[in-house]
Structure 1
Amino acid sequence: MLTSTVGTRGVRDPFIIRSPQGDKFYQIATDLRMHGNGNWDQVQRTGSKSIVVWESTDLVNWSVPRLARVSPDTAGNTWAPEAYYDEGVGQYVVFWASKLYSAGDPNHIGNTYNRMMYATTSDFRTFSAAQVWVDKGYSTIDSTLIKHNGTYYRFTKDERSSSQTPCGKFILAERSTTMLNRNYSFLADCLGNKRGGTPAATRCARRSGRPNSPPPPLRGNVPQPPVLLPEQHDARGPEARQQLTPASEVRPRIQI
């Protein structure tokens, strides 16, 4: 078990990526300690601007953790980082969610929303300046990504409440021919929604409960089509639901 001795000394949302050469693994995670705090609003105003990084060559023995700052001064939090090695860029693209505040609001007391950010790196030590990747005008978090048959498929959680939109707390699916495109094409929304939903044929039926983030699609030596495993929390606790997503059609089917 890995623990963090840096930053807030708390860690969550771990994600592991293998180097393209196959000789090293990087594990990145959110620098966030909620024990003894519990104030979700405050940690999105004055939270960490860094991610926690470990390295390994065998997935058993890991380096000591280190902090890597990726977010700008205007960010209030740096949540749920993931990474993807983009051959077109020739670097790892690290992406995460941040609430961005006005430069004229250094104490972060105003109202704002989470956007998906990204930065590039070759070694998880030095990062490019952060850029906005997803900005819908409302909070979106926990994006995950897969490339299939030359197209990038991105799945992102709509962080709005169900009182704001029927698709609140469910998953948005989009696609693009390039990874860092700011304007992915819409494929489906309300993924995980099993109680009626919308008339669009590409939208999934609604399900009860409060879905959380979309975990990464399975990659590598797995049967086609790719598989998305949304995570959901309800009154019975967290549950995994297998949602098959043929990337050519993106017509998710819930496997109970």
Structure 2
Amino acid sequence: MANPVLIGQYVETHSIIHRLDPRTKLISLFIFMLSLIWLNTGISYIVASLFVVMIVGITRIPVVIFWRGLIPLVVILLFTFVYNMLFTEGSIIWSWGWLHITIEGLENGVRLVWRIILLVILAAILTLTTKPLTLAYGLEKLMYPLGKLNVPIEQFSLMIVIAIRFIPTILEELERILLAQKARGYDITTLRLPQRVLAYIPILVPLLFMIVQRAEHLSDAIDARAYGKGKGRTSYRQLQWQSIDYIVMIIAILIALGLLLLNIMKI
């Protein structure tokens, strides 16, 4: 997988996580992500991190893929850390003019960056271990009660999956444009940072053109398969709950309750 983006990719390794029902992954992911909001103590962060590392190991996906996928987020993570470090009130340990670094700011910066990394890895595990169509089918089944209220759940689930899948597609198109420019002797990576930022502006036009073209091709493919609104369509593969699915969801609930207990007890 050459694309550095985690979310939107799929890697087949025949692990237990791959074989789980997509509904199990979605429910467990939602429960565990919700529990990450409660993280407030060092022990809770360590427990959550160990659990995420364990899941990554079970997926059998090379760790280098996750590491490479976090590289594009370095700027966002640095900005989050620096912003909290400089603009959080508390015990000042360094100051220069109106800039102040506080102990509370350092703690908040580390916690938020840590939390973002865990959330991104969890979201990546979902897409790395679930095929787009299977994920869409699982979403559709989970939202089935909303269909009774005339909510277009089939279109909604397909729209979400296509949006997720388009993330690496957009970056692939951007890389093609950059390679085409490099082949013509214009390498953006050799420019200084301010010039490099300005050099990306003219690229937006061909990039948007290619994205619209890809969207049109996708729309034609959907129409050619007579997908329509997706209402009443059947699936070749029927989803069925297995014992392992119940076990995984119970584990996710127990972990979430454990993290909540750790934060309540301030451990």
TM-score range normalised by the length of the shorter chain:
under 0.3
In terms of fraction of residues, the more helix-rich structure is 2
In terms of fraction of residues, the more strand-rich structure is 1
User: What is the TM-score normalised by the length of structure 1?
Assistant: 0.21
Higher RCO, 1 or 2 (CA under 8 Å, sep at least 6)? 2
Larger radius of gyration: 2
